Structure 1
Amino acid sequence: MAEDLPVLVVGATGFLGGQVVDELLKRGKKVRALVRPKSNAAKLEAKGVEIARGDMLDAASLVTAMTGVSAAISTAAGYTRNDKNAKAIDTFGNSNLAVAAKHARVPRFVLISIVTSDQTPQIPHFWNKKLAEDKFEELGVPFVALRPGAFFDQAVGMGGDPFEKGRFVWLGSKDARLTFVLASDVAAYLAEAVDADIVEGERIDIGWSRPLSIHEAAELAGRRAGKQVKVVSIPSGAIAALGKVTSKVLPLVADMASMVAWFETGKYVADTTRQEQVFGPPPTPEDAIARVAERYGH
């Protein structure tokens, strides 16, 4: 029976993928993880996760990994790894996932995408997510795409406890409102989407109950920490200038500059109507920031 088959997680050794694995296990699911041949899978094995060795750039290994699963979830993103295969992973790799899913007849594929990815051809890693969605649809693979906003906990947590340090480091405008999410919430939604009542091919925006600026987020954080939390911002113009200089050596910077410019348009905002229908009321910024503070012991 389908419930006895494992759910495959692509990207299980990553920041988000590891949390997806835990969410699936919490729900009583069997889990299979796609792990690259040289990656250490000991932590996953200790949790009882089945290991399938393979790579997104090796289509045959993907077919093998997807054979006999009840569903598959991909959190893989070359952009965040910024290694030599980053572009290939986000293009050929995602295409390979769709082709393999079709060959293996995966009943449902849950794909992580990005809010407004279909509006932003000028941002490579956004647009690649949109192209991945299109590839699954073109091949007739049963899929759903969750489109979260910016990962707040990752953004403010680089470099240690931002509440203790009393500062958030940010890129671009302090006052531009945008959609944020917490990785832990997105992981829970991805796991839930395996069985959720969702129309195949749906793209669902994921966010908090309202957009807010990083300055507003810092004010909420300050109230929680009982101290002022400042925002240290790198101007978008400086990022754009650096992106032009390093475009051939570090294309990631130019990509980032385009993303920051998009944030500043005020259009990077989720429509959480469908999120609420499928997964329940979106978290409020107050609740989400309080949970981040608790993780740091505040």
Structure 2
Amino acid sequence: MAEDLPVLVVGATGFLGGQVVDELLKRGKKVRALVRPKSKTHKLEAKGVEIARGDMLDAASLITAMTGVSAAISTAAGYTRNDKNAHAIDTYGNSNLAVAAKHAAVPRFVLISIVTSDQTPQIPHFWNKKLAEDKFEELGVPFVALRPGAFFDQAIGMGGDPFAKGRFVWLGSKNARLTFVLASDVAAYLAEAVDADIVEGERIDIGWSRPVSIQEAADLAGRRSGKPIKVMTIPAGAIAGLGKVTSKILPLVGDMASMVAWFETGKYVADTTRQEQVFGPAPTPEDAISRVAARYGH
């Protein structure tokens, strides 16, 4: 029976993937995790997770990992790893996932993508997500793609408790409105998408109930924590200049500069209509920011 088969999580040792594993276990699912050969797995194994060793650049290992699963979820992203294989993972790696899913006849593949990825060929890591969606569709793999906005909790949490420090650090304009999400919410949606009533090939935007600027978010956070929170920004021009200087050494800086420039157009905004139909009401900024503040004890 399909319900007795595990759900494979690609990227299970990552920031988002680990939360997806917990959400699946919470729902009573068996979980198999694809992890790289040298990755530490004791925390996953302690939770009863089955381990499959492999790599996104090794298609054969992916086919082995996907054989005998009820579904697969990928949260893997080379861009966030910023290592020498980042580009290969986001291109060849995603293509390998689609090919392996086809060979292993995976009943449903849940792919994490990015809001507006289909509009942004100038941002490599956005466009690579769009190309990954296209590859799954081209091969006829039963898939759904969730397209979240910017991860608010990850962005403001770099460097410790932003509420205690009284500041958010942000790239680009503090007044540009865009779509944010919380990783915990996205993890829950990814786990739920395994069994959700979704049409094959759907791309579903994921976000809060309305876009906000980082300044508006800081104001809401300040009211929640009881003290003002400032926004420290790195201008888009400075990031773009650094990208040109370091393009051969740190190509991801140029990618980041293009992303920040897109944020400032005001077009990085999710249409949450389908999200609400499938997963229920979208979180409000007030609710989401209150939950983040509570995690830090505020």
Give the TM-score, by structure 1 length.
Answer: 1.00
Shift of 1:26: 0.1
Q: Report the Cα distance in structure 2 between the residues aligned to 1:94 and 1:155, rounded to whole angstroms.
A: 24
Q: Distance in 2 between matches of 1:113 and 1:3?
A: 26
**2:73 match: secondary structure:** strand
1:68-110 Cα deviation digits (max 9, x unpaired): 0000000000000000000000000000000000000000000
Distance in 1, matches of 2:242 and 2:226, equals 36
User: SS where residue 174 of structure 1 aligns?
Assistant: coil
- Unaligned 5+ residue runs, structure 2? none
Counterpart residue number, 1:174: 174
What secondary structure is seen at the aligned counterpart in 2 of 1:281?
coil
Shift of 1:145: 0.1
Task: Determine the C-alpha separation between the residues in 1 that align with 2:78 and 2:151.
Answer: 16
Q: Secondary structure at the match of 1:242?
A: helix
Aligned-residue offset at 1:229: 0.2
Task: Give 1:177 deviation, angstroms.
Answer: 0.1
Name the SS for the 2:39 alignment partner. Answer: coil
Gaps of 5+ in 1: none
What value does the CA root-mean-square deviation take over the aligned residues? 0.2
Matched residue of 1:269: which SS? coil
TM-score (normalised: structure 2): 1.00
CA offset digits 1:35-86 (Å, max 9, x no partner): 1001001100000000000000000000000000000000000000000000
Q: Which residue of 1 aligns with 2:136?
A: 136
- Count residues in correspondence: 298
1:13-53 residue CA offsets vs partner (Å, 9 max, x unmatched): 00000000000000000000001001001100000000000
Aligned to 1:84: 84
CA distance in 2, matches of 1:101, 1:91: 16
Three-state SS of the structure 1 residue aligned to 2:283 is: coil
* Residue aligned with 1:72, SS: strand
3-state secondary structure, aligned to 2:145: strand
Question: What SS does structure 2 have at the residue aligned with 1:258?
Answer: helix
Structure 1 residue 268 displacement after superposition:
0.0
Alignment correspondent of 2:164: 164
Q: Secondary structure at the match of 1:277?
A: helix
CA distance in 1: counterparts of 2:146 and 2:74, whole angstroms: 11
Structure 1 residue 238 displacement after superposition: 0.2
Q: How far 1:208 sits from its partner (Å)?
A: 0.1
Give the superposition deviation at 1:289: 0.1
Deviation of 1:150 after TM superposition, in Å, equals 0.1
CA distance in 1, matches of 2:213, 2:95: 35
Deviation (angstroms), 1:199? 0.2
In the alignment, the residues of structure 1 paired with residue 140 and residue 246 of structure 2 have an alpha-carbon distance, to the nearest angstrom, of: 39
SS at match of 1:198: coil
3-state SS of the aligned residue for 2:169?
Answer: strand
Q: How does 1:1-298 map to 2 (within 5 A)?
A: 1-298=1-298
1:174-205 deviation digits (Å, cap 9, x = unpaired):
00000000000000000000000000000000
Q: Distance in 2 between matches of 1:138 and 1:268?
A: 26
How far does the alpha carbon of each residue in 1:148-170 deviate from its partner, in whole angstroms, 9 at most, with x for none? 00000000000000000000000
Residues in 2 aligned to 1:41 and 1:95: alpha-carbon distance in whole angstroms: 25
- Deviation digits for residues 193-239 of structure 1 (CA, Å, limit 9, x no counterpart): 00000000000000000000000000000001100000000000000
Secondary structure of residue in 2 paired with 1:51: strand
> Where in structure 1 do 4 or more consecutive aligned residues deviate above 3 Å?
none
Shift of 1:12: 0.1
3-state DSSP of counterpart to 1:135 = helix
TM-superposed CA distance for 1:3, in Å, is 0.2
Q: Matches of 1:87 and 1:248 in 2, distance apart?
A: 13
